[in-house]
Amino acid sequence: MSHYLSLMVTSKKDSRPAIVWFRRDLRLTDQAALGAAVASGAPVLPVFVLDDGKAGAWKAGGAARWWLHHSLTQLHAVLRHHGTGLVLRRGDSAEVILALAKEVDACAIHTGILPEPWERAADDAVAKHLKGTDCAFHRHPTVLLHDPDTITTQAGKPFGVFTPFANAFLRGVPIGTPVPAPKRIKGADLPASEDISDWALRPTITWDAQFADAWVPGEAGAAATLDRFLDEAVNGYDVGRNAVSKAGSSSLSPFLHWGEISPTQVWAATLHTDHPHTAGPVAYRRELIWREFAAHVLWHHPTVPEEPLRPEFKAFRWRRDPRALKAWQRGQTGVPIVDAGMRQLWSIGWMHNRVRMITASYLVKHLLVPWEDGQAWFWETLVDADLGNNSVNWQWVAGCGADAAPFFRIFNPVLQGTKFDPDGDYVRRWVPELTKLDTRFIHEPWAAPNTALAAAGIILGKTYPKPMIDLAEGRARALAALRDTGGKRADQLV
């Protein structure tokens, strides 16, 4: 081929756009799919597809859709600043991406690797269709630190227990250096885009009124949240993460879920603190590894959102109790730490992780309501609702999943509240009916003498609910149900 002809071919190829298919990686920094497209020299065409069909019951819930609206709005603005914009389309994601590639005569499609079953199915459909064509399909690591197919047990199987997984992860996963955002993006001519306002992602009933006070979705909000965590909380994270009334957690979970910050960025940031290998940063990095573990489990067990990993729990005698479920959802169980958590969730789309465990344990053990019902409510109301984390953590609490806590380990919400909210500040913030109650009784108002209740303006059963069930009775009932599960004894289910 002559030099002149080579230049002509290169020029023609470079004029064809490279599509960057954004999904849960809504950022420019350390975004491998975007970086590869920019490095190719082709004009870049960023696109996001809203596909509610393939996800079925697991399409983004109400709180997550609020977040997505604002995150996409921010991403479009940042892309505009860098020389391009964001094309929005709706429909079957594989079909939409393939149609768009044909529409613009794309030379390549770059996207991230996601663990959700429907995302993997879409990838397979796109790859199959493009095989043998002159449009390449490239998948990049954008949301996880590890490739779920590369970490296995010595027997070559996926991990089902966290500690061995964490050890293998620390031994075998090289974590690179975060890549800066491109200074400028050579943008392609943008085809027609839908208007995000037509997607109606924000709720029509303004139950999200407090969300904007609590969160700033987008890459800039993620960076600011990480900076606050590094400045104020990471060094004491190992202890502070359990103090439910304090700002001891990172609050990065929704930003990580939507990919407004990469796990590589967060991991690297904890290594650049003054004391990166002390208990706080080490404990936080272990939480990042748990996130990888949840994705690992989902990758290898795609039915984990619907089915218990431990088959004996298919016979467990759950109680379908709409009344109990509704009281739990509304924070009206009569157990203060549980009600505080559920009201925090409804108010800001997020709940402290320690309280997530307490509220979940109360639902599935004291009330014997199926874990799937709790999982579905969290999916609808959490801004950080993540299929891997949500399903694996609910099964962990219910004792039926990977590395699960045995079912007979039942949290006592009074003891948990006393230990992790000793002054009752968390309860008083989210359950104002109890504001004036003496701290001695803040986590068990039913134990307060009538004089203490009267002084606080509380009438149990009227101004604040009586407990739905006696805690000792609920525990005994849960253990009885466990003994009846498939004829298994408690010690056989550990």
For residue 350, indicate whether it is catalytic: no
Provide the token pair at 275.
């004391």
* The one catalytic residue among 118, 258, 290, 379: 290
Q: What distance in Å separates the CA atoms of residue 42 and residue 14, rounded to the nearest whole number?
A: 5
For residue 371, indicate whether it is catalytic: yes
Provide the token pair at 338.
């549980």
Beta bridge partners of 140: 112
Q: What distance in Å separates the CA atoms of residue 117 and residue 301, rounded to the nearest whole number?
A: 9
Give me the count of residues in the chain. 494
Q: What distance in Å separates the CA atoms of residue 106 and residue 135, rounded to the nearest whole number?
A: 6
Half-sphere exposure of 98 (CA within 13 A, CB side): 15
Q: What distance in Å separates the CA atoms of residue 40 and residue 22, rounded to the nearest whole number?
A: 17
* The one catalytic residue among 199, 207, 318, 446: 318
Half-sphere exposure of 402 (CA within 13 A, CB side): 29
For residue 290, indicate whether it is catalytic: yes
Provide the token pair at 117.
């079953």
Q: Under a CB-based contact definition with an 8 Å cutoff, are residues 105 and 16 in contact? A: yes
* The one catalytic residue among 95, 194, 287, 380: 287
Beta bridge partners of 20: 46, 110
* The one catalytic residue among 67, 258, 394, 396: 394
* The one catalytic residue among 371, 379, 396, 430: 371
Provide the token pair at 9.
């071919």
Question: DSSP assignment, residue 22?
Answer: E
Q: What distance in Å separates the CA atoms of residue 355 and residue 367, rounded to the nearest whole number?
A: 17
Cα-Cα end-to-end distance for the chain: 69
Neighbours of 387 (CB within 10 A): 24
* The one catalytic residue among 353, 380, 412, 446: 353
Q: What distance in Å separates the CA atoms of residue 281 and residue 284, rounded to the nearest whole number?
A: 5
Amino acid identity of residue 434, one-letter, is L
For residue 380, indicate whether it is catalytic: no
Q: What distance in Å separates the CA atoms of residue 321 and residue 330, rounded to the nearest whole number?
A: 14
Q: What distance in Å separates the CA atoms of residue 288 and residue 258, rounded to the nearest whole number?
A: 15
Q: Which of the residues are catalytic?
A: 287, 290, 318, 353, 371, 394
